[in-house]
Chains A and B, each alone.
Chain A
Amino acid sequence: MNARRSAWWVAGALVVTGLACVAVRLHAQQRAKLARGDTLWRVTYKVEFNANRAGAGLRVTVPRETPHTRIVRRDVQYAGLAAQRVRASRELSREIALVAPTGGRHTMTARFDLHFTPQGRAAFSESAAKLTAEMRAQYLRGADTIPTNAPLVLETLAGLQPADPTNLVHRIFDFCDRNLRSDDEDFPDDVPTVLRQRKASSLGCARAFVTLCRAAGVPARLVTGFTIEPAEDAELQYWAEAHHGGRWVPFDPVNGSEGVVPADLVPVTRDQSEIVRGTDIAALKTSLEVVRRPPGPGALRFGRSQIGVIFDLTRLPLDMHEMLAVILLLPLGGLVTALFRTVIGLRTFGTFTPTLLALSFVYADWKTGLLTFAVVLALGLTTRAVLDQLKLLVVPRLSALLTLVVLCIMLLVSVLDYFNLTPSTQAVILPMVILTMTIERFYLTSEEDSPGIALQQLAATVLVGACCYGVLRWQTVGQLVFTFPELHFFTIAGLVLLGRYSGYRLTELWRFRDLGNR
Chain B
Amino acid sequence: VKLPFLLPRELRALGVLGMNRRNAEFILPGNPRSHYPRVDDKLRTKQFCQQHGIPVPQTYAVIERPGDLRHFSKLVADYPEFVIKPCQGAEGRGIIVVTAHDSRRFTTAGGATLELADLRYHLESMLAGLYSLGGQPDRILVEQRLIRHPIFEPIAVGGTPDIRVLLYRNVPVMAMVRLPTHASRGRANLHQGGVAAGIDLHSGKTLGGVCRGRVVTVHPDTHAPVAGVVVPHWPELLVAAAKLARVLELAYLGVDFVLDADRGPVVLEANARPGLAIQLANRAGLLSRLQNVAGPDELIEGAPPGG
Decide if A502 touches B18 in the complex (CB within 8 Å): yes
Chain B residues with a Cβ closer than 8 Å to the other chain, count: 43
Whether, in the assembled complex, A385 has its beta carbon less than 8 Å from a beta carbon of chain B, the answer is no
B191 interfacial contact with A, CB 8 Å: yes
Q: Is B118 an interface residue (CB 8 A)?
A: yes
Which of B102-110, B123-131, B260-268 forms contacts with chain A?
A: B123-131
A516 touching B6, Cβ below 8 Å = yes
Residue-wise, chain A 438-475 has the 8 Å CB interface mask toward B (1 for contact) of 00000010001110010000000000000000000000
What CA separation (Å) do A450 and B215 show in the bound complex?
A: 20
Would you call A503 an interface residue if the criterion is a C-beta within 8 Å of the partner chain's C-beta atoms? yes
Residue A513, interface by CB 8 Å: yes
Interface contact B213-A514, CB-CB below 8 Å = yes
The interface centre, meaning the residue of A449, A500, A511 with most chain B CB atoms within 10 A of its CB, is A511
Residue A5 lies at the interface, judged by CB distance under 8 Å to chain B? no
Bound state CA distance, A450 and B189, in angstroms? 11
**Binary CB contact string for chain A from 159 to 200 against chain B (1 if under 8 A, 0 otherwise):** 000000000000000000000000000000000000000000
Closest to B215 in A: A514
Contact partner of A514 among B93, B117, B214, B301, CB < 8 A? B214
- CB contacts (< 8 Å) of B129 on chain A: these are 394
Known: A345-B19, A449-B192, A505-B19. A510 touches B5 (CB 8 A): yes
Contact of A504 with B283 in the complex, beta carbons under 8 Å: no
Chain A residues whose C-beta falls within 8 Å of the C-beta of B7 in the assembled complex:
509
Which A residues lie within 8 Å of B192 (CB)? 449-450
Residue of B11, B129, B130 ringed by the most chain A CB atoms within 10 A:
B11
Q: Which residues of A contact B301 (CB under 8 A)?
A: 1
Which of chain B's residues have a CB closer than 8 A to the CB of A513? 4-6
Which residues of B have CB within 8 Å of A501? 20, 24
The answer to whether B21 touches A512, judged by C-beta atoms less than 8 angstroms apart, is no
Q: Does A504 lie within 8 Å of B279, measured CB to CB?
A: no
Interface readout for A475-518 with B: 1 if CB under 8 Å, 0 if not?
00000000000000000000000001111110011111111111
B285 at the interface (CB under 8 A from A): yes
A123 beta carbon closer than 8 Å to chain B? no
Within 8 A of A (CB), among B209-226: 210, 213-215
For A393, what are the chain B residues with a Cβ–Cβ distance below 8 Å?
124-125, 128
What's the Cα separation between A505 and B23 when bound, in Å?
12
Residue in A1, A444, A517, A518 whose beta carbon sits within 8 Å of that of B25 in the complex: A1
Number of interface residues of A (CB under 8 A): 30
Tell me which of B21, B117, B191, B285 contacts A515 (CB under 8 A): B285
A502, B191: Cβ atoms under 8 Å?
A: no
Q: Which of chain B's residues have a CB closer than 8 A to the CB of A504?
A: 8, 11, 16, 18, 20-21
B100 part of interface (Cβ distance < 8 Å): no
CB distance from A423 to the nearest CB of B (A): 39
Question: In the complex the two chains form, is B283's CB within 8 Å of A518's CB?
Answer: yes
Let me know if A508 and B18 touch, CB within 8 A: yes
What's the minimum C-beta distance from B285 to chain A, rounded to whole angstroms?
Answer: 7
A395 near B: Cβ within 8 Å?
A: yes
Closest Cβ–Cβ distance, residue B294 to chain A (whole Å): 12
Distance from B214 Cβ to chain A, minimum over Cβ atoms (Å): 6
Residues on B with beta carbons closer than 8 Å to the beta carbon of A1: 25, 301
Q: Check: A391 CB closer than 8 A to any chain B CB.
A: yes
Q: How far is the CB of A398 from chain B (nearest CB, A)?
A: 10
Expressed in whole angstroms, the minimum distance between the Cβ of B198 and any Cβ of chain A is 11
Within the complex, the shortest CB–CB distance from B178 to chain A, in Å, comes to 15
Give B9's nearest chain A residue, CB to CB.
Answer: A504
Assembly CA distance A508 to B7 (angstroms): 10
Give CA–CA (A502, B27) in the complex, Å: 12
Q: Is A342 on the interface with B (CB-CB < 8 A)? A: yes
Determine if A512 and B16 form an interchain contact, defined as CB atoms under 8 angstroms apart: yes
**Interface membership of B10, Cβ < 8 A:** yes
| Bound CA–CA A333/B191 (angstroms) | 29
> Within 8 Å CB of A517, what residues of B?
215
With a cutoff of 8 Å between Cβ atoms, the chain A residues found around residue B93 in the complex are 448
Partner of A509, one of B8, B130, B283: B8
Bound complex: CA of A501 vs CA of B276, how far in Å? 17
Q: Are B117 and A509 in contact (CB under 8 A)?
A: no
Q: Which of A444, A510, A515, A516 has the most CB of B within 10 A?
A: A515
Which residue of chain A lies nearest to B277 when distances are taken between CB atoms in the complex?
A511
Asked whether any CB of chain A lies closer than 8 Å to the CB of B14, the reply is yes
Take A504-B8, A514-B215, A516-B14 as given contacts and tell me if A342 and B191 are in contact as well, using a CB distance cutoff of 8 Å. Answer: no
Cβ of A342 and Cβ of B6 under 8 Å apart? no
Q: Chain B interface (Cβ within 8 Å of chain A)? A: 4-8, 10-11, 14, 16, 18-21, 23-25, 29, 91, 93, 117-118, 121, 124-125, 128-130, 135, 189, 191-193, 210, 213-215, 276, 279-280, 283-285, 301
13 contacts between A and B (CB under 8 A): A1-B25, A391-B118, A391-B121, A394-B135, A501-B24, A502-B18, A510-B5, A512-B16, A513-B6, A515-B11, A515-B283, A516-B6, A518-B283
In the A-B complex, list the 6 residue pairs whose CB atoms are closest, starting with the nearest.
A391-B121, A502-B21, A394-B128, A504-B18, A449-B191, A509-B5
